[in-house]
Structure 1
Amino acid sequence: MTRAAPTWLMPIVAIFTLQTISSFLNRLIPIIAPDMSAEYGWSGSSIGYLTASNSLGSLAILVAGSAMLRQIGGMRTLQLTMLIGAACMAWLLVPSLTVALIACFFMGLSGGAANPAGSEVLQKYSPPGKRNLMFSIKQAGVPLGGVLAGLFVPVLVTVAGWRISLFICAIIILVPTMMFWRLSSRLDETPNKKAHFFHFPTMESLRTLTVPLAALRHNSGLMKMSVVGSLFAVSQSCWFTFTVIYLVDQLGYSLSLAGAVFAVMQAGGVIGRIVLGWLSDYLRSAKATLTLAAVFSTITTVMLGQTSSAWPLWSVIALAFIAGGSAASWNGVQIAEVARHSPPDLISETSAGSSILVNLINMLAPTLFALFVASTGRYDYAFMCAGALTLLVLVVLPREPRRA
């Protein structure tokens, strides 16, 4: 007699798949944008504008989307934003920077919806004793989506051109989104499934924009754990944004070699998120796990600024892999802890509020980093400051209750 699959398996598979595809969608822009900008005659700085617009879309759904998350459910919200993002990829065929900025904004919506949706589903369906591991597996979809985009899309653009690549990537996004469409109606628990989730703005509805951040004030542990995520995001965003350009400009790497090092870092993030989630459950201490991640994140970030062309390639690759396992792997444990500190009926809101803080840092930290390097020319000091800020995690981490 065959054993039935555990009830938590399909929810975990569904949210992990959608998290990966959402990340894939939002990693397309910096890969396709160079060829698109060259054909349209846009300046090289346009890539930065498109990426910033994408991040703004993620932030917008976190701030303004709490009502939708509560009304129609996290999974359905994530799927709708992914359908919108896939459809808006067609707007990139219009040779207008303004239209492209709008398209990138809507493509970024799913990036903001993924964390609240995942937290809502996993908090209900994660098996006892494996909650942090399940959250970390889900979060491993973020770097995995980046790895898939980095390996697949450049080859596709070379073979078929960026226009055909957009069409194929849209199909890749649509298929898994629709595959789990029916499952979402069973996973999402909404107060009134017949209610409409769109309403014209009123003063009352505008007040809901403050709900995600206000929800973080429910208890001190919740706010502290959200600040912890923001401090981790300083080093992570600087690694993600400046690794390639630093290796090319300062160490003289070719673009392909720098991209390979970046891919190693993303792969380290896939493994590291799962390992840290398992370690947190094994030790029964998220604080110990996040402390370890903060220390290694600080060390690797500072060391990146100390590298030079005299360093052997293997040492830089090893540094990138360790950074992926620490500076880019804290997310699952931190999100699980936010959900644990949250009241059961406010998980979507607190997850969104925590993600808002992280997304603000993801935009602010690289901007300040770039301004500092532009004015001083010192990458080493900039990476040192980023690492020092992440080390403040050790001060902010909330105390854990004593275990029997």
Structure 2
Amino acid sequence: MIADHPEGRPALLPALAAMTWLQALVALALFAPGAVAPTANLDVPRLSMFSTAVFAVGVLTSLWTGGLINRIGSLRMASLCAVAVAASMAFAALGSGPALLVAGFCLGLAFGPETPASTALLGKLVTNERRALVFSVRQTGNQIGAVCGSLALPAIAIWLAPQWSYAAVGACAIGGIVVFEWLRPQYAGLTQAPRQLGMRARLALATSDRRIAALAAASMPFSGMQLALNTYFVTLGVRELGISHLEAGVALACAQAGGLFGRLGWGFLAMRIGAARLILVSLGLGMTLCAATFGFFGDDLGKAGQYALAAAFGLTASGWNGVFLAEVARLAPQDRIGETTGAVLTASYAGLLVTPVLISAVESFAGLAGAFVGLAILAFCGTVVLIRGDER
């Protein structure tokens, strides 16, 4: 059971719930501009500018996160991340391009540290046998935030104003601060985050094992695909699939619900059959097929078909993270799990950083549908790398 924890350690469940909430907050803020884009008149270049700012700052902050977590603890870091989320939403509510850029910078201060902070704490509380399942449960925070945002934020933007959507996210962040600070004394002194590594050391660590290097390489297009689904799908639906803003939000919620079930289901399956690599390969092929189908035939599917395909898209493109992190932890040297995770996540962040630029460039001459086809090709290439990287 997930509630189990090593003897002498604090309970796992409250820490898992808190770190899941943290990821939900960051996800909710990250997806907010894309969810309200049609009503707020946000075009693809401005959405890409926001996303690029988030991930650029996220990569930079990840370079010094480990040392700071060791000094202040994972839950105090969670509180600081929540403060950054609230500040980001305050700037986003202003609505201008420069304000959205600053909002992206602020959110990057939360995006970079939240995964290492969670890994550092949960890694000390979970047994090896339950690692894949616990990490997958924690990763469902991404889908919890995205489902709530996909359903609630477009409706709030339409019925009230986009500013109220951002205010709702900010209120959730303030509630998170209260919870994190309440739990913090129970886990004081437990966190042991990875030591600070420079970019060259991270590259060396990520490429020290062929299987880990393949995971890092595949995570770049996989992360990019997940970003595209979360950030641009509502705009794709309204602009090129012929559905309304609310209907596009429902379709995205179907995708995020698929991702929620996927993260739990894939983690449980990986724990049962011990074949995480095979599952990751299957998910790579699945997201490739879904993205290509939306790109080529999305407007011919009908609403029911679009909702069903969106759920399958989320099941694959948003369901891979927990199994991925658990596989990295399994392959890493046992005294350097946190450092190896941070090194591999740097590759994932690179994919997140490049994808908005790529989508903006392709969208300018082939539309968003063409951009999704391009991402499908990259995801297929990443899957091939993952297969070849496991060859002996």
TM superposition score normalised by structure 1? 0.81
3-state DSSP of counterpart to 1:303 = helix
For residues 252-331 of structure 1, what are the structure 2 equivalents within 5 Å? 252-331=242-321
Query: Are 1:13 and 2:14 an aligned pair?
Result: no
CA contact (8 A) 1:126 1:134 kept: yes
Q: Can you list the C-alpha shifts for 1:161-198, whole angstroms capped at 9, x where unaligned?
A: 45555444323212223213253451653579xxxx9x
Name the structure 2 match of 1:102.
102
3-state DSSP of counterpart to 2:358 = helix
* Separation of aligned partners in 1, 2:33 and 2:189: 30
Query: Which runs of 5 or more residues in structure 1 are unaligned?
Result: 198-204
Q: Shift in Å at residue 160 of structure 1?
A: 5.2
CA contact (8 A) 2:263 2:320 kept: yes
Q: Shift in Å at residue 95 of structure 1?
A: 7.6
Name the structure 1 match of 2:348.
358
* Separation of aligned partners in 2, 1:101 and 1:285: 41
Instruction: Call closer, same or farther: CA 1:22–1:245 in 2, change over 3 Å.
Output: closer
For residues 37-116 of structure 1, what are the structure 2 equivalents within 5 Å? 45-92=45-92, 97-116=97-116
* Separation of aligned partners in 2, 1:230 and 1:222: 13
Instruction: Call closer, same or farther: CA 1:244–1:319 in 2, change over 3 Å.
Output: same
CA contact (8 A) 2:48 2:360 kept: no
TM superposition score normalised by structure 2? 0.83
* Separation of aligned partners in 2, 1:268 and 1:57: 29
CA contact (8 A) 1:213 1:350 kept: no
Deviates more, 1:369-378 or 1:333-342: 369-378
RMSD between aligned alpha carbons? 3.3
**What one-letter code is carried by the residue in structure 1 that aligns with 2:312?**
I
CA contact (8 A) 1:224 1:396 kept: yes
Name the structure 1 match of 2:119.
119
Q: Give the structure with higher Rg (CA).
A: 1
Name the structure 2 match of 1:389.
378
Deviates more, 1:235-244 or 1:319-328: 235-244
CA contact (8 A) 1:93 1:163 kept: yes
Query: Which runs of 5 or more residues in structure 2 are unaligned?
Result: 6-10
* Separation of aligned partners in 2, 1:99 and 1:159: 23
**What one-letter code is carried by the residue in structure 2 that aligns with 1:320?**
A
3-state DSSP of counterpart to 2:299 = coil
Q: Shift in Å at residue 114 of structure 1?
A: 1.9
3-state DSSP of counterpart to 1:180 = helix
Name the structure 2 match of 1:201.
none
Deviates more, 1:131-140 or 1:167-176: 167-176
Instruction: Call closer, same or farther: CA 1:362–1:168 in 2, change over 3 Å.
Output: closer
CA contact (8 A) 2:76 2:180 kept: no
Instruction: Call closer, same or farther: CA 1:134–1:229 in 2, change over 3 Å.
Output: same
3-state DSSP of counterpart to 1:343 = coil
Q: Shift in Å at residue 63 of structure 1?
A: 3.1
Name the structure 2 match of 1:141.
141
Instruction: Call closer, same or farther: CA 1:172–1:270 in 2, change over 3 Å.
Output: same
* Separation of aligned partners in 1, 2:376 and 2:262: 18
* Separation of aligned partners in 2, 1:102 and 1:316: 34
3-state DSSP of counterpart to 2:123 = helix
Instruction: Call closer, same or farther: CA 1:254–1:97 in 2, change over 3 Å.
Output: closer
Instruction: Call closer, same or farther: CA 1:313–1:264 in 2, change over 3 Å.
Output: same
Q: Shift in Å at residue 271 of structure 1?
A: 0.9
Matched pairs, number: 381
Identity, in percent, stands at: 24
Q: Shift in Å at residue 24 of structure 1?
A: 1.9
